[in-house]
Structure 1
Amino acid sequence: MKTKKLLFSIAVALLILSSCDDVEFGDKFLEKEPSVDVTKDTIFSSVEFATRYLTRGYTTLPYGLNLDWGAKDDKLGMDILESLSDLNQSYLSWGGPNQLYYSGQYAAASENTSNSTKYHYTKENSWVGIRIGWNFIENADKIPAPDEATKNLVKRMKAEAKMIIALHYTDMYRHFGGLPWVDRTYSPADETTLPRLTSLETMNKIVALIEEAEPDLPWVYANTLNDDGRFTRASALGLKARLLLFGASPLFNSGTPYMDGEAAAKKLVWHGSEDPNLWKRAADAAKELMDQGYYGLVSTGNFRKDFQDAYYKRGTKEMLISTRQRYRSGGYWTANYYFYQSAGGYGTGCPTKEYVDMFPMKDGTPINDPNSGYNPNMNPWENRDPRLYETVLVNGDYYQGRTAQLWIGGLERTTLAANGSKTGFGLRKFLLERDAATSMPSIVHWPYLRMAEIYLTYAEAINEFNGSPTPEAYAAVDIVRNRVGLGDLPKGLSKEAFREAVLTERACEFGWEEVRWFDLIRHKKANLFQRALHGVNTTKNANGTYSYETVELQARHWKNTWSPKWYLSAFPPNEVNKGYGLVQNPGW
């Protein structure tokens, strides 16, 4: 038997079960770390106890906003993933983007000690969630089920446990590529050498797990008061579509690896060849969900409010996967909802001009179209896509009962150096109007996956598979555009032009929802990592008009030293060196 070095790694030590398991019963169950005061037999002695244990699994799911200084919730050192994309520039001096990425100080060794990397292999609670999921699946049949209704409930909860596992694996897959596949719980006597699977094997394993769960999940829950936020069949189909789109994209689905190395030679970070049928698999998964008839977009005709409700509000027909860490957010200075401080004033919510320029005019015409009516020197933020105003705080928009003042010396940009609006823009998404009337406190969640993404996934995938956009691809994009009053996408686009239009649409729709980073890496957009980013200095003139100066923002290290190694994260060298089969990603 091989040496069981894996048993001593943080990652899989979390999967090993002892005579006790970590769950705490009582009113504080979801509010603090569980203890180890009950046995496994107790957990599965009743539906109530087992449900609480499964709920603990839900709390391990990713939450995109920084919350507190714990290893999982201290995202990027209290920063956000968008700060590594072209949408946002961070000025949080102690955050991961500035400390590690912009400065060029990030190295594989950073994963050994830092909580400020974009995704840590052993600190995200992913392995905790996977352990809870398999433990539930293996022991669920012990739950007393005296009637058919209870048996069906247990069956459904086992499917939920599979989805917890699948979601964690999907997130890790997008950061690392092929992964060690854990398919059960482990005891100290078990052989635990678990090498990485290939990227294609890993994707197919996750898909198979999702497809196992899917038929045992309901489309909707009758008791939304107690069950809103649990996985549905729509959650399963949506997660599968997201996963398959990533796996079909050029990062993995290519005739050559993005970078040579041992991991590439073993096909851990690419599929070994290009397979157009992977795009078809992604399109089919999205289409199945689109055709089911219940889920769709929030669309009442109030464009701004509809878009805000689509990402911010729980329980809509647009929300496919909603993750939660608390019910209400608390106030601005709430210690365990730090996002308000970091984005509101410390500098993690500073959109770039490149991002603002992606938003078209309110009829859908791009601002670079000579017939758009856009004038960069006169009210450039007027008459734009309603999503701009609900994502970015721009000068002149309504705000806290007045108009926002993003000119230098204004209330939202008191000085040129004010970190909260240093690019000339502020963040509105998730912050709303930064007051008690809108967001502080409010009922919160993380919109991990929305139906809007499914329409755009279908459009992208069918365009790539077909070699050009089909009428159905245009229609899917137009559903998303029309919801906020934009006109249809112009017809007659090439495959490449349609792809770029969809990626722009995804950026406008999903800013600050952790979509852009993955779009950049899966399409290997090295040119966007290497381009200069800009802000705007707005000056209020004596006559009440405004002048606008475009300024280049501080360059990031990779602008002039780009390497494709950045597409995937490094594994902690401490884990690689334990010898259980973990091969480091190329370049690290």
Structure 2
Amino acid sequence: MKRLLMPIIIIAGSLYFGACNDLKIGDDFLEKGPGADVTLDTIFSSKQFAERALVAAYKHLPYGVMYSWDAAEDKLGVDLLESTTDLCQSYLGWGCGAERHYYNGQYNASLSDTYDVMYAYTKERSWEAIRKAYIFLENVDRVPDMTESEKEVRKGEAKMIIAVQYTQMMRHFGGLPLLDRAIYPGDDYNYPRETIEKTVNFIVNLCNEAASVLPWQTSAEEDGRFTKAAALGLKVRVLLFAASPLFNDNQPYLDGEASSNLMVWYGNKSEQRWQDVVDACKEFEQANSADSYKYELVETGNYRQDFQDAWYKRRNGEVLISTRVANTCPGIWDGDFYFMQSSGWYGCSCPTLNYMDMFGNADGTPFSLDWNNIPQGVNPFENRDPRLYETLVINGDKWQGRTAQTYIGGLEQPTENDTRCRTGSVMRKFLLEHDNATLAGSVIHWPYLRLAEIYLSYAEALNEVGRTGEAYAWVDKVRGRVGLPKLQRNLSQEEFREMVLNERAVEFGYEEIRWFDLVRWKRAGDFTKPLYGVKIRLQPDGSFKYEKWQLAERYWKNSWSPKWYLCAFPPNEINKGYGLVQNPGW
């Protein structure tokens, strides 16, 4: 056995809990807080302290937008994952990891553990959360004032914390070292990198074990804690990624030691993996049905508000996993939520015209228009999918008590080269009206997993196993929520697949779905295609002229390599010798 420092024990900082000033949780739960000697015996001597220990693990669940200047929380600096896809372009060079490392192809293994990359292997706090969850699992049984039922439920939550963190890492790296206990400084252990099959099974088993003890839905007082619905839903996400061609194909995406050792693919292509997704979706649906459909899409007939509530409103009956870092937003200009300023005013995550075009027409037909030959008086943004207007700021739409002016010279785009609305639009989702009065005091959560994702995953998997006829209904559910008619039938398998990927893009924009969809389907073409914006000019007669223009080419346009599908491991971690193998190409 080897005595090595894995990232699991490289934990920075400590956490105080509420009014319990004498309780300090640190690297080993052994750091001394003011006025008390704290040990594991202290932590697990009461239900109150044990619950707070679990909260410490909850604290590091994935949260999609930058909310702190702490480097451990600054994924891609102050940017979003979508900015590395065809959906968005960022212009904030000083705080934008997308522009700094990815648009120019500068990302490499030596930079892979910096704060402004997609995923920093030792600094993302996933290992810290996993360790805290294992410490809880290993000690909660000795808490004297918790019932056995309470202990089992909390154990299920701890297992879900581990499962979520491994899910995040699996989608970025592939196979991983699989820890089965808490590791302390000086421990003897050996946890090499495992195959993708073992990694996926490890996560799925955690989900199954959690689902067996968790309630289907929590009370209002415990909203935000993991449930059986969360466990079954996460299993769907994991299996969908595993069934997709990145891992499930007749050849690896790139040759290398990790490929030879089946750490980044299964070694074969099997339809059964898609069937596993179908079965997991069916299991979720049957459980939801048995519990009187406690989870349903937000659907009142107010299409735009329903869609906004689906991702913004807590405890809405649709969000399956909700992560929080604050109870309410202190305001758009608060330093801890600097992303809101960066996206609203400084040019982060500007939507591409490619993305705007993905939103179809209100009658359900795909949007198709030659932007450089739009007839006089025709507004290409009228009568579109309602999700367009709640995802992006659209010229002429209602906005801050007025109409949005994304045209050059307008309030949102004062000059042609102003970065705020450089592409002809700006992000609306999560930022609402972009004003302090709207956001200050509003509830803030991240919709890590929504019911709509289960439905679209069900449709995708059914299509892949040759049951396309059954798949339409699940897409129709999602589209019907915003008033779109049912899909035309008789699509081919490939046409249906393209439609579902487009549907996921418009439904889950800015929710960290698109990157993983492009990766799991090995969509090199979407990483290398030209990206566009639209210049909107106000004419003397009050009409608008539209000019499609090509955005600056990214490094990938002419130098794409499949290595970009997965992140690189930090060389210093590989050099520790515990069996971490670098991903192909890095």
Shorter chain as denominator, the TM-score bin is over 0.9
Indicate the residue corresponding to 1:105 in structure 2.
106
Matched to 1:470, the amino acid is: G
- 1:470, distance to aligned residue in structure 2 (A): 2.3
**For 2:48, what is the secondary structure of its paired residue?**
helix
Correspondence list, 1:4-403, <5 A: 4-5=3-4, 8-14=5-11, 23-27=15-19, 36-37=32-33, 38-94=38-94, 95-112=96-113, 114-145=114-145, 150-188=147-185, 190-222=187-219, 224-225=220-221, 227-291=222-286, 292=288, 293-368=293-368, 378-403=378-403
Report the Cα offset of residue 349 of structure 1: 2.8
Q: Are the equivalent residues in 1 in contact too, given 2:8–2:183 (CA < 8 A)?
A: no
Return the offset for 1:375.
6.8
Give the secondary-structure state (helix, strand or coil) at the position aligned to 2:475.
helix
Deviation of the 1:188 alpha carbon: 4.6
Where 1:320 maps in the other structure, the secondary structure is strand
What amino acid sits opposite 1:24 in the alignment? Y
Change in Cα spacing, 1:126 to 1:375, as seen in structure 2 (3 Å) is farther
* Partner Cα separation in structure 1 for residue 538 and residue 51 of structure 2: 58
Q: Return the letter of the residue paired with 2:224.
A: G
Q: CA deviation at 1:96?
A: 0.7
Kindly provide the amino acid, as one letter, of the partner of residue 521 in structure 1: V
CA apart distance, 1:36: 4.4
What residue in structure 1 maps to residue 541 of structure 2? 543
Residue 22 of structure 1 and its aligned partner are, at CA, apart by 5.3
Conserved 8 A contact 2:197-2:266: yes
**1:194 to partner: Cα distance:** 1.2
Give the aligned partner of residue 578 of structure 2. 580
For 2:369 and 2:362, the matched residues in 1 are separated by 13
On the 8 A contact 1:354/1:533 being kept in 2, the answer is yes
Letter in 2 for 1:152: S
Mapped to 2, the partners of 1:262 and 1:428 lie a distance apart of 43
- Please give the alpha-carbon distance, in whole angstroms, between the structure 2 residues aligned to 1:77 and 1:436: 22
The answer as to whether partners of 1:14 and 1:131 remain within 8 angstroms in 2 is no
What secondary structure sits across from 1:109 in the alignment?
helix
- Which position in structure 2 is the counterpart of 1:532? 530
Distance 1:341 1:276, change over 3 A: same
- How many percent of aligned residue pairs carry the same amino acid? 53
Cα deviations by residue, 1:67-103 (Å, 9 ceiling, x for unpaired): 1221222120111101001000000112111111111
Question: What is the alpha-carbon distance in structure 1 between the residues aligned to residue 32 and residue 386 of structure 2?
Answer: 50
Assess, with a 3 A threshold, how the Cα gap between structure 1 residues 92 and 155 changes in structure 2: closer, same or farther. same
Q: Which residue matches 1:18? A: none
Q: 1:217 to 1:36 in 2, by over 3 A?
A: farther
What is the Cα deviation at residue 132 of structure 1? 0.8
> Aligned letter for 1:4?
R
- What whole-Å deviation, never above 9, does each CA across 1:124-150 have from its counterpart, x for those lacking one? 11001100111111101011147xxx2
How many equivalent residue pairs? 568
Matched letter for residue 414 of structure 2 = T
Aligned-residue CA RMSD (Å)? 2.0
> C-alpha displacement at 1:329, in angstroms?
1.4
Is the 8 Å Cα contact of residues 408 and 414 (structure 1) preserved in structure 2?
Answer: yes
Preserved contact between residue 377 and residue 548 of structure 1 (Cα < 8 Å): no
Asked if the contact 2:25–2:53 (Cα under 8 Å) also holds between the matched residues in 1, the reply is: no
Partner SS for 1:420 = helix
Q: Structure 1: 5+ residue runs without aligned partners?
A: 16-20
CA distance in 1, matches of 2:185, 2:426: 52
Residues 238-291 of structure 1 show CA distances to partners (whole Å, capped at 9, x for unaligned) of 000000000000000011000000000001000000111111111211222223
Distance across 1 between alignment mates of 2:411 and 2:274: 48
Task: State the distance in 1 between where 2:339 and 2:464 align.
Answer: 37
Match in the other structure for 1:406: 406
Please give the secondary structure, in 2, of the residue aligned with 1:337.
helix
Contact 2:157–2:226 (Cα < 8 Å) also in 1 = yes
Partner residue, 1:496 = 494
**1:24/1:36 contact within 8 Å kept:** no
1:559 maps to 557
How far residue 416 of structure 1 moved from its aligned partner, in angstroms, is 1.1
Counterpart of 2:322 in 1: which secondary structure? strand
Structure 1 length normalisation: TM-score?
0.93
Instruction: Quote the offset at 1:13 in angstroms.
Output: 4.3
Q: Against the structure 1 CA distance between its residues 28 and 539, is the aligned structure 2 distance closer, same or farther, given a 3 Å change threshold? A: farther
Inter-partner Cα distance in structure 2 for 1:354 and 1:213: 40
Supply the distance in 2 between the matched residues of 1:583 and 1:228 (Cα, whole angstroms): 40
Within 5 A, what are the aligned runs for 1:428-577? Answer: 428-466=428-466, 468-471=467-470, 473-577=471-575
Long gaps (5+) in structure 2: none
> Does the 8 Å CA contact 1:530/1:559 hold for their aligned counterparts?
yes
Once the 2 structures are TM-superposed, how far is the Cα of residue 189 of structure 1 from its aligned partner? 5.4
> What is the distance in 1 between the residues matched to 2:232 and 2:505?
22
